[in-house]
Amino acid sequence: MRFLTVTHFFESHGGGIERVAAQICRHLSAQGHVASWAASAGDTLLDERGVEALPLPCINPTEALTGLPMPIPGPRGTVRLWSAVKGADVVVIHDALYCTSILAMVFAKLQRRPVILIQHVAEIAFASAMMRRVMALANRIVTRPMLRSADQVVFISDTVRQFFAGARMKRAPLLQFNGVDTAIFHPGAPERGAFGLPDGRPLVAFVGRFVEKKGLSILQAVARRCPEISFALAGAGPIDPRQWDLPNVHLLGSLPPGRIAALFRSADTLLLPSVGEGYPLVIQEAMAAGLRVICGEESARADPAASEWLQGVDVDLQDIAGSADRVCAILTGLEAQYASSRQAMIDYSQRHYSWAGFAARLASVGQALSRRG
């Protein structure tokens, strides 16, 4: 079958949605399907491996100003997306609130192509009251109609599924967790020297985009309160942690998966004080590498069977000081509890998070939808 995946960016942009889309595309191709991927031409597909990249000429005026990525296809990009939808048997859209997603849905309906919508996030609790109102309005007038229009909805997090439980959908939604490449993410010897990180001090890792919803302001406050702990930040974005002027914060830039895995093997804790997320892929990868995790409560509940290994914290972007205090309170004292359950966490993540399984289930759904016309 011919699967067209549509996202806002390709994986070189560094976001979790893009990394998920890349893995699914490659596994669909490996399983004998034709996989193409349409996204903004501002980024690239790092490793094609049988995946046809369809870059769409777009403008992206909002990300540098607000941290919200919103590429808007121009005339050439719109025509190219129309043609890509026309050539597909099934259209797979990642997240509803992007212009590329909305256009792909409209084009698929006009051309009678079945749509699978993979919804990653629910609502983002921005610090700005205006941005919270905009997000709530967007979910009401865009996300919910997109969920209603899709032929099949897939949630990658139980918290996101619960948030949209009242939305009308054509079929019962599926819950499917992202996979983990266990050939890369597994326990092993620390490699701090390869990153130039100091030995003899606790090390906390952060991996993600440097944007507001990832909790960068909380991370800054925690690092300031805990000068005895080193913080290694891997990622990029409009927020510049160099301006924090904190000697215990080390910037590593954007890292490929193999280097992220090495960082996880070198760290003591993954800290992801984010809001409005489903089940961030880096949490699952950290679990497979044997790294303890502190994250927002909604992420800690994303997979109910795995919540016992994740330390959830009440994150509030309107209360930076209080959120930082809550994180600091649990940064110490976890080791004894974590050590006794570490191997069970590793075993669970390696058994239950499979990219091949995700792609196979998506293909099965796509084939069933296609047969129904």
Sign of CA dihedral 285, 288, 294, 298: positive
What is the rounded CA–CA span in Å between residue 274 and residue 212?
8
pTM of the full predicted structure?
A: 0.88
Instruction: Please tell me the predicted confidence (pLDDT) of residue 11.
Output: 87
How does residue 357 score in pLDDT terms, banded at 50, 70 and 90? very high
Strands laid side by side in the 230-234 sheet: 249-253, 230-234, 203-207, 269-272, 292-296, 310-313
pLDDT of residue 141: 87
User: Is the pLDDT confidence value at 336 over 80?
Assistant: no
How far, in Å, CA of 144 to CA of 152, rounded? 13
What residue ranges do the domains of the chain occupy?
2-179+354-371, 192-352
- C-alpha 311/C-alpha 295 separation (Å) is 6
End-to-end CA distance of the chain: 14
Pairing label, strands 58-59, 72-73: antiparallel
The DSSP code for 250 is E
49-63, 91-105, 295-309 — which is least confidently predicted? Answer: 49-63
Instruction: Give residue for tokens 């390869």.
Output: 194
Reading phi first (left if > 0) and then psi (alpha if -120 to 50, else beta), residue 314 is in beta
- Please tell me if the domain spanning 2-179+354-371 has the same topology as the one spanning 192-352: yes
Superfamily of domain 192-352: Glycogen Phosphorylase B; (3.40.50.2000)
| Mean pLDDT, residues 29-53 | 87
Bridging pattern class, strands 203-207 and 34-40? unpaired
Q: Which pair of structure tokens corresponds to residue 293?
A: 């995790």
Q: How many CA atoms lie less than 13 Å away from 256 in the CB half-sphere?
A: 5
- In the numeric block, which tokens belong to residue 335? 């080791």
pLDDT at residue 237 tops 80: yes
CA 323 – CA 100 distance, rounded (Å): 34
Q: Around 283, how many Cα atoms within 13 Å sit in the side-chain half-sphere?
A: 30
Percent of the chain scored above 90 by pLDDT? 74
Q: Is 226 helix (H, G, I), strand (E, B) or coil?
A: coil
DSSP letters, 275-312, are SS-S--HHHHHHHHTT-EEEEEHHHHTSSGGGGGGEEE
Question: Looking at residue 44, what is its pLDDT?
Answer: 72
The residues, ordered by sequence, that sit 6+ positions from 40 with a Cβ below 8 Å of its Cβ are 8, 9, 10, 55, 56, 58, 60, 71, 73, 77, 100
pLDDT (tens digit, 9 = 90+) per residue, 247-300? Answer: 999 999 999 999 999 999 999 999 999 988 889 999 999 999 999 999 999 999
Q: How far is CA 157 from the centre of its chain?
A: 11
User: Who contacts 78 (Cβ-Cβ below 8 Å, separation ≥6)?
Assistant: 56, 103
CATH topology of domain 2-179+354-371: Rossmann fold (3.40.50)
Q: How confident is the model at residue 123 (pLDDT cuts 50, 70, 90)?
A: confident
- The CA distance from 104 to 56, in Å, is 12
Query: CA torsion angle for 50, 75, 11, 137 (degrees, to 10)?
Result: -130
